[in-house]
A and B are shown apart, each in its own frame.
Chain A
Amino acid sequence: MEWVLGVTVRAPVASFRRPLDHNYQRTLPMPPPTTLLGIAGAALGLSDRALWAPNSPLRKLKVSVLMDDDHMPGRARDMWTVLKIKGGRIAERSPYFRELLFGVRYTLLYGGEKSVLETLAAAFDEPAYPLSLGRDDELLVIESLDMDEVQSGPPCFQGTLLPGDVRQIEGLRPQVSPGLHFEPPLVETLPLAFSVDRKGVRNPERMTPLSFLPVGIEIEVPGLQALQWQGRSFVWANGMTG
C-alpha cells in the first residue's frame, strides 16, 4: 500500500531559480522535485552528499506539490550587485536581478512506504536544519502535517507539476469560461536528482521536461492516472503514478 505525506507550508518570500538563468534569474512558480527532496533532506539532517548518494534513503521517495488555489503570490524583482574582479582586485559592481515570490502557500507531497513517510513526518516535526523554500533565508513555516493512503482522482489538474511537456499532450482540455484570468503553464527541463562528485560539485541527473500548471484554470488530461490529496488531483513528478 502506498501512502502520501502532505506538508502544508507558508513563506513570506520564496524563489526557485530556473537553472540556465544568470543575470536575470526568473523563478519557477513552485518548488521543483530536487527542491522538494532537498527540503526532506534538510529535515532529516542529511548532507548534500548523503542526500544524493546512490544509497540515499530518499532515492525512492516520490514527490509532487500543490499550490494554494485561494490566492496568487506577489512578485518582486530583487536587485543584487556582484563584485567583479579586474587585474587581481575588485574593480566594479555589476547588477543582476532575481525574481521573488511573496506570500506563498504550498502543500508538499511525498509518497512511499509508510515507515519511510513516518520517519519523514517526525523529521518535519523536529527538523535537523531550518527549512526554506529556495535560499537559506527564505524560511518556511509548517502549517500542518497529514498522512493518508493514496487514492485515485480525476485527471483534472491546477496549481501542480506534471511530468512531461503539457504542450505535447494530445487531447488536453482546459476548462475555460468567460472572464477567466490565468497565467499560461510553464515548461522547463529540470533534473530529477543530482550526483555529487569528489569535489562536492552537484551534477544534474535524469533531465526531464516538467510542466508547472497555474492555479485558476483546471486542465483535464484524459487518460492520465491521477492521484488525489484532499480533493486536489496530482501525479508524482519524479515517478510513474503507480
Chain B
Amino acid sequence: MSRAIAIGYLARVSAGNVNASHTEGNVVVTKKVTLPDGSMIPYVSGQAIRRMLRDRLADLGYALSDPCATVSGQEVTPPVRPWEFVDEDLFGYLDPSGGRRRTSPVRVSAAVGLFPFQGDRDLGTRSFERFGQAMEAGGNMFETELYANLFKGALLIELDRVGIFTPLELGEEQGRSLDPSERRRRLQDLLEALNLLWGGGRTARLLSDLSPRFIAYARLEAKHPVFLEALAAHYEDGHYVLDLAPLTNALDRFGRYRQQTLFGVEPGIFGNEEEIRAALAGYGEVLTVHEALNRAKADVSALWNGSSA
C-alpha cells in the first residue's frame, strides 16, 4: 500500500529576497541562518512556501478558506470544512474555540540555500511624490538584501490522510472522507501548484520563479522524507553541479520502500546534466521537470482504485 509521496526539489533564484525578516533601519534583511564558521545561508520558511502553494491552488480555481472566518473575543475560527476547502484539507487548521485541529498531511520543509549569502543589496528610493510632493523633492533611500542562490526544498505527503477527516478533526461524531477521484484531483493540483511555484515578498520588483529546476519524486510504502537531506550542489565553470552521492545514497537507503521513482531535470541548468541522467536512470525515469510532474500526476491517478494503493 502506498502511504506517502516524498518530493525533493531545487529552485533557482537569480536575484531576489523571497522571504524577508524584519527591517534593520532602512534595510529589508532576508531570512538567513548563521553557520558556526560565521558564514550565512539564506532560507525561505516552510510557511512561506505553504502560502505560495495555497495561492497557486487559488490560481487553479480553488476557493480557499479564510483562517479568520469568525472573530469572537480573542478567538479566530476557521470554517473547518476541509471537504469544501482544499487548503484546510492539505494544509490543516486550528480552531482554538472548539479544539478542532487538523495536522497538515502535506509537510513542507524550509527551502535552504546551498550557497552562502554574499551581502548584496538592492538600492531603492521611496519617492516623496507618494506623499503629495513634487518628484523634484526626491525621496528616502532604502536597501533590500538580495541573493542569487539555489534552494533545496522537500515535501512529504501523507496519502492515507489526504481527503480523510477524523471525528476529532471535525468535532463530529463521525469522520468524513472524500471520493477517491476528488482526493486524486487535489493531489494532482498540488503537484501542478509546485510546477507553478512563485510568490513571497517584493514580487513587484524582485519577482522570482521558484518552480523546480530539479525534482525527485518517490511514491513510498512508508512515511520517510527520503530527499530531505539528499540534495547538494557546488558551482563550477559557470554552472551548478548537482552532487550525486547524497542522492543515490538516499535512493539506495530507502530503496525497499520506493514503489515509483521519477526525476525531472531542467535543461541548461546543471553542468553535469548528462552525468545526472546516467546516474539516476537506474532508479527511475529521468525527464524534464514538467514531464516528470505530468508523469507524477499520472502516477497519482492510479491511487485508490485497486491498482497501487
A binding-site residues for B, Cβ under 8 Å: 10-13, 47, 71-80, 83, 85, 88-90, 95, 100, 102-103, 125-132, 136-142, 199-200
A13 to B41, CA, bound (A): 13
A22 to B72, CA, bound (A): 23
Q: How many residues in B have their beta carbons less than 8 Å from beta carbons of A? A: 46
B112 close to A137 (CB less than 8 A): no
A140 to B99, CA, bound (A): 27
Query: Which one, A73, A90, A126, A140, contacts B222 given CB within 8 A?
Result: A126
Assess whether B10 is interfacial by the CB under 8 Å rule.
no
Q: Contacts A83-B68, A130-B156, A139-B225; is A74 near B41 (CB within 8 Å)?
A: yes
Assess whether B223 is interfacial by the CB under 8 Å rule.
yes
Q: Contacts A88-B71, A89-B71; is A137 near B103 (CB within 8 Å)?
A: no
B154 close to A200 (CB less than 8 A): no
B224 close to A76 (CB less than 8 A): no
B225 close to A141 (CB less than 8 A): yes
Known: A126-B221, A139-B156. 10 other contacts (CB 8 A): A12-B229, A13-B46, A47-B168, A74-B34, A76-B31, A83-B68, A83-B76, A103-B35, A126-B3, A126-B222
A137 to B50, CA, bound (A): 10
A130 close to B222 (CB less than 8 A): no
Residues in A neighbouring B50, C-beta threshold 8 A: 137
Residues in A neighbouring B225, C-beta threshold 8 A: 130, 139-141
A89 to B73, CA, bound (A): 9
Question: In the complex, what's the smallest C-beta–C-beta distance from A137 to chain B, in angstroms?
Answer: 4
Question: In the complex, what's the smallest C-beta–C-beta distance from B104 to chain A, in angstroms?
Answer: 6
Question: In the complex, what's the smallest C-beta–C-beta distance from B41 to chain A, in angstroms?
Answer: 7
Residues in B neighbouring A130, C-beta threshold 8 A: 4, 107, 156, 158, 223, 225
Q: Is the interface of A mostly helix, strand, loop or mixed?
A: strand
Query: Which one, B33, B152, B222, contacts A127 given CB within 8 A?
Result: B222
Question: In the complex, what's the smallest C-beta–C-beta distance from B234 to chain A, in angstroms?
Answer: 17
Chain B window 95-124, contacts with chain A (Cβ cutoff 8 Å), 1 for yes, 0 for no: 000010001100111101000000000000
Q: Contacts A90-B68, A130-B225, A137-B46; is A72 near B36 (CB within 8 Å)?
A: yes
Query: Which one, A76, A132, A200, contacts B33 given CB within 8 A?
Result: A76
A74 to B112, CA, bound (A): 12
Residues in B neighbouring A139, C-beta threshold 8 A: 107, 109, 154, 156, 225, 228
Most chain A CB within a 10 A radius of its CB, from B33, B34, B74: B33
B228 close to A75 (CB less than 8 A): no
Closest-by-CB residue of B relative to A76 is: B33
Residues in A neighbouring B45, C-beta threshold 8 A: 78
B109 close to A13 (CB less than 8 A): yes
Question: In the complex, what's the smallest C-beta–C-beta distance from B259 to chain A, in angstroms?
Answer: 13
Residues in B neighbouring A79, C-beta threshold 8 A: 21-22, 31
Closest-by-CB residue of A relative to B227 is: A141
B76 close to A85 (CB less than 8 A): yes
14 contacting pairs across A/B (C-beta < 8 A): A12-B229, A13-B110, A13-B112, A72-B36, A76-B33, A79-B22, A85-B71, A88-B73, A89-B71, A102-B43, A127-B223, A136-B107, A137-B108, A141-B225
